[in-house]
């Protein structure tokens, strides 16, 4: 018997491993995009939150026939038991004739699937177990498709990389944006706001912001949920009806109390509580129906037994509630067809131009966080009854077409969730409508289980700018809001500001919040709301009683005195914010003069939107060590008069000084970690683009 030489066996195995003759590698860019008109398609969409399935395509340079070994593998960042299987859709941007697929099977044995076809209309291409060990597997296929759908079923289905070979049939979408919308940066007055509460008196709020985010729970609005009749909505505002009709408050501090009576329940019961007298307020309808404590989902399981959470029809109660919200709080003229508004004068309050459909529905602190397909179904019904006509009486937009629909605030900059939502909006609605008007996120700057970090250490401006640019690219023309951020003070919270010699926690909280406001102004965020207006109430002096994260993030105390008066004592940050808000109201971000990580001083410039020759420089030390520069040389025009403002506790105007530059335009400034504001005038450059973002 004649043996085949080893070299010949090797050559034969190499030829078998090579892709079919004439086929080109289709290089996948997991963070790439395709563009068609004003619609953006992600090249790869991970359908599950906290997934890193993009790693299937992050080493496209590898050559399997040379036995190159990938290094990275998909995994779940947090709580993997919640988020498997991992699913992802690859959009090749055009129709391809695929001939060869290589995938690297690493250690672990579980199921791995590949489908082809169209979104939600898939054909099985591969169903296998990952029972090879650190080996490239070669599939020869004969299919034509634009899309591929991948599923890894568990932690043991470890596929590290996928390579595709084939040829394009016809045309492919553009990989460059077709439209280039620009987004004017808002002024501080247009952008700044606070997370507040409907039982909090108005006057203290109006001094520190334009926008106010208020919480309301579904059962507080719809009290008939226990009857399990999806056609019945009991829309009321009287959850505090057992309290006194007059609640007494004290403001702004314990040394100079100002008492006024706030007829809280009378307003609540009529709906007028929700009017903001010229300010902008929106409601965050959070929580779920109380009949589902085990699931945290706004679905009535009694009315819909066996409901699929990704089915829009199971959110019919939510859609009716949203419609009635538009009737009561919107600016339209839709009637109350259900005749369930208890107070007729509550109709058409015109109190809101926006509504947020939830709060952190993707968060780990929820027992069962919503996946993007379930949220799409919920939000589409909330918006317009999933494309239903106005006569359906479903969805807030069918009651008030002008109402802005704000996506719930994601509990971090959750790009996976947002990409998946965009995928479902386009492919699961018949009209392909991307109905979200405002994308919304939360972000807190801290090291988990340690302490908070400063905005500069967190690279806050850069992080938010990248995320805003990502959303502007994915869904052009939409706004991005940053609706929760802040710093704690109690030492039992890992969000608490650290101990810095010579600075108390209340002062450091104020410094860092103002520095964060400066950074946010340069990101393209249209609205930001600090968390929160008041501390969580513990019926005692708060500094010593806070025990949890977020307990002491308030700009005011929440201490109920023995005589029943709600004593809202203002912390330093309240005065800092009030001064900053009024000083900078008409100013928008203009230029970053100095912001290198190694610089001992950072400088931002803001320009007045009404009088463009007026500018304000914000100058500070970006450190966290109570750094002081006694004599900082700052250069402006010669022989001009400037004004400086430094924010301070117990003052609504700050510490102000008038100074003069010398013959060379120099001036000596005292710079600390508390920003100094320098007011002056400058000529407007002939061509201005710095107040726009893309």
Q: Which of 626, 584, 630, 591 is nearest to 609 (CA)?
A: 584
Residue closest to 286 by CA, chosen among 180, 357, 234: 357
Averaged pLDDT in 10-residue chunks for the chain of 694 residues: 46 51 87 94 92 94 90 75 84 97 93 97 96 94 97 91 96 87 91 83 79 71 54 45 35 37 36 44 57 55 82 88 80 66 51 84 77 95 96 92 93 94 97 96 94 97 96 95 94 92 95 98 96 74 64 82 67 94 97 91 97 97 96 95 96 95 96 98 71 52
The answer to whether residue 439 sits within a structural domain is: yes
- CA-closest candidate to residue 357, choices 378, 341, 336, 374: 378
E strands present in 197-234: 211-217
Domain co-membership, 101 together with 132: yes
Specify the pLDDT at position 538.
57
Query: Same structural domain for residues 207 and 59?
Result: no
Give the Cα separation of 423 and 419 in Å (integer). Answer: 6
Q: What is the CATH number of the domain that holds 687?
A: 2.60.40
551 with 404, same domain? Answer: yes
Say yes or no: 263 and 210 in one domain.
yes
| CATH assignment of the domain containing 322 | 3.20.20
Residue 576 lies in a domain: no
Is residue 143 included in any domain, yes or no?
yes
Tokens of 345: 């004068």
In a domain, residue 641? The reply is yes
What is the pLDDT at residue 569? 78
Q: Which three-class secondary structure state does DSSP give residue 132? A: coil
Predicted confidence at residue 215, as pLDDT, reads 73
pLDDT for the residue 12 = 42
CA-wise closest residue to 383 among 352, 361, 354, 359: 354
Q: Do residues 163 and 92 share a domain?
A: yes
Range of the domain at 221: 187-443+458-511+524-569
- The CA distances from residue 599 to 619, 671, 673, 678, 685, in Å, are 12, 13, 13, 19, 26
Decide which of 172, 197, 229 is a domain's last residue: 172
Give how many domains the chain has, as a whole number: 3
* One domain for residues 595 and 507: no
Question: Which of 118, 147, 172 is the last residue in one of the domains?
Answer: 172
| Helix, strand or coil, per DSSP, at residue 240 | coil
| One domain, residues 424 and 487 | yes
Contact present, 49 and 419 (Cβ < 8 Å):
no
> Rounded distance, CA 260 to CA 247, Å?
9
Residues 113 and 145 in one domain: yes
> Cβ neighbours of residue 118 under 8 Å, at least 6 residues apart?
146, 147
Rounded Cα–Cα distance for residues 269 and 290 (Å): 22
Other CB atoms within 10 Å distance of the CB of residue 15: 9
d(CA 442, CA 440): 7
Q: Render 395-417 in DSSP notation, one character per residue.
A: SHHHH-TT-EEEPPBBSS--HHH
- Same domain assignment for residues 299 and 429: yes
Asked whether residue 517 is domain-assigned, the answer is no
Residue 293: CB atoms within 10 A of its CB come to: 9
- Which of 110, 145, 172 lies at the terminal end of a domain, its last residue? 172
3-class SS at 326? helix
- CA 535 from centroid of its chain's CA atoms: 23
Query: In terms of domains, do 683 and 633 share one?
Result: yes
Listed residue (476, 488, 581) closest to 543, CA to CA: 488
Q: Which two tokens stand for residue 415?
A: 């790009």
Closest to 601 in 3D by CA, of 634, 641, 643, 640? 634
What gap in Å lies between CA 118 and CA 28, rounded to an integer? 18
Label residue 389 left, alpha or beta by phi (over 0 means left) and psi (-120 to 50 means alpha): beta
What pLDDT score does 277 carry?
A: 40
528 within a domain of the structure (yes/no): yes
In a domain? residue 59:
yes
pLDDT of residue 359: 85
Residue that is written with structure tokens 């937009």 in the block: 397
Does 485 share its domain with 386?
A: yes
- Report in angstroms the alpha-carbon separations of 322 from 357, 374, 397, 686: 9, 17, 8, 48
Q: What is the DSSP string of 154-194?
A: STT--EEEEEEEEEEEEEE-BSS-S----EEPPBHHHHEEE
**What CATH number has the domain bearing residue 118?**
2.60.120.260
d(CA 356, CA 284): 5
DSSP 3-state of 373: helix
- 33 and 123 housed in the same domain: yes
Residue 350: the pLDDT is 62
DSSP class of 134: S
Please report whether residue 577 resides in a domain.
Answer: no
């Amino acid at each position: 018997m004649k043996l085949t030489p080893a070299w010949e066996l090797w050559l034969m195995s190499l030829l078998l491993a090579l892709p079919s003759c004439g086929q080109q590698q289709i290089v996948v860019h997991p963070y790439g995009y395709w563009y068609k008109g004003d619609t953006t398609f992600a090249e790869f969409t991970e359908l599950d939150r906290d997934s890193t399935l993009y790693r299937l395509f992050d080493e496209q340079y590898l050559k399997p026939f040379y036995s190159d070994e990938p290094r990275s593998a998909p995994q779940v960042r947090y709580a993997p038991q919640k988020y498997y299987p991992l699913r992802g859709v690859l959009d090749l941007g055009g129709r391809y004739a695929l001939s060869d697929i290589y995938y690297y099977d690493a250690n672990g044995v579980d199921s791995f699937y590949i489908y082809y076809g169209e979104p939600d209309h898939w054909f099985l291409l591969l169903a296998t177990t990952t029972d090879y060990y650190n080996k490239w597997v070669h599939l020869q296929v004969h299919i034509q498709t634009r899309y591929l759908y991948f599923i890894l079923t568990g932690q043991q289905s470890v596929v590290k990389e996928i390579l595709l070979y084939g040829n394009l049939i016809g045309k492919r979408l553009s990989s460059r944006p077709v439209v280039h919308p620009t987004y004017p940066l808002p002024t501080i007055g247009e952008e700044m706001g606070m997370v507040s509460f409907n039982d909090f008196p108005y006057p203290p709020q109006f001094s520190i912001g334009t926008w106010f985010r208020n919480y309301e729970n579904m059962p507080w609005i719809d009290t008939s949920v226990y009857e399990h009749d999806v056609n019945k909505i009991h829309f009321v505002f009287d959850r505090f009806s057992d309290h006194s009709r007059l609640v007494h408050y004290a403001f702004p501090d314990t040394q100079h109390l100002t008492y006024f009576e706030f007829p809280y329940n009378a307003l609540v019961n009529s709906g007028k509580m929700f009017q903001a007298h010229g300010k902008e307020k929106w409601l965050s309808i959070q929580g779920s129906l109380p009949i589902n404590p085990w699931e945290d989902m706004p679905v009535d399981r009694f009315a819909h037994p066996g409901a699929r959470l990704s089915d829009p029809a199971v959110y019919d109660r939510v859609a009716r509630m949203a419609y009635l919200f538009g009737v009561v709080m919107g600016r339209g003229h839709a009637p109350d067809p259900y005749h369930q508004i208890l107070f007729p004068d509550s109709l058409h309050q015109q109190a809101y131009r926006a509504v947020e459909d939830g709060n952190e529905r993707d968060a780990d602190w929820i027992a069962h966080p919503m996946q993007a397909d379930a949220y799409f179904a919920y939000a589409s019904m909330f918006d317009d009854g999933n494309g239903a006509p106005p006569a359906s009486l479903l969805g807030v937009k069918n009651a008030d077409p002008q109402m802005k629909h704000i996506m719930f605030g994601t509990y971090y900059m959750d790009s996976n969730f947002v990409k998946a939502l965009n995928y479902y909006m386009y492919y699961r609605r018949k009209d392909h409508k991307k109905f979200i008007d405002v994308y919304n996120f939360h972000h807190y700057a801290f090291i988990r289980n340690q302490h908070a970090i400063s905005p500069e250490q967190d690279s806050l401006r850069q992080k938010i700018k990248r995320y805003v640019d990502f959303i502007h690219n994915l869904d052009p023309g939409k706004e991005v809001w940053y609706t929760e951020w802040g710093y704690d003070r109690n030492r039992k919270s890992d969000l608490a500001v650290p101990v810095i010699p010579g600075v108390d926690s209340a002062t450091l909280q104020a410094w860092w919040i103002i520095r964060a406001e400066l950074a946010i102004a340069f990101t393209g965020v249209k609205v930001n709301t600090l968390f929160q207006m008041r501390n969580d109430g513990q019926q005692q002096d708060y500094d010593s009683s806070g025990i949890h994260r977020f307990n002491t993030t308030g700009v005011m105390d929440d201490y109920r005195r023995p005589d029943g008066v709600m004593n809202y004592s203002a912390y330093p940050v309240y005065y800092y914010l009030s001064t900053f808000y009024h000083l900078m109201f008409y100013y928008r971000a203009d230029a970053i003069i100095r912001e290198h990580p190694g610089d001992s001083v950072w400088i931002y410039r803001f320009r007045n939107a009404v009088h463009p020759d007026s500018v304000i420089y914000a100058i500070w030390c970006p450190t966290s060590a109570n750094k002081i520069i006694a004599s900082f040389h700052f250069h402006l025009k010669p022989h001009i008069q400037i004004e400086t403002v430094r924010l301070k506790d117990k003052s609504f105007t700050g510490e102000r000084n008038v100074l003069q530059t010398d013959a060379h335009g120099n001036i000596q400034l005292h710079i600390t970690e508390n920003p100094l504001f320098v007011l002056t005038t400058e000529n407007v450059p002939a061509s201005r683009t710095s107040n726009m973002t893309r």
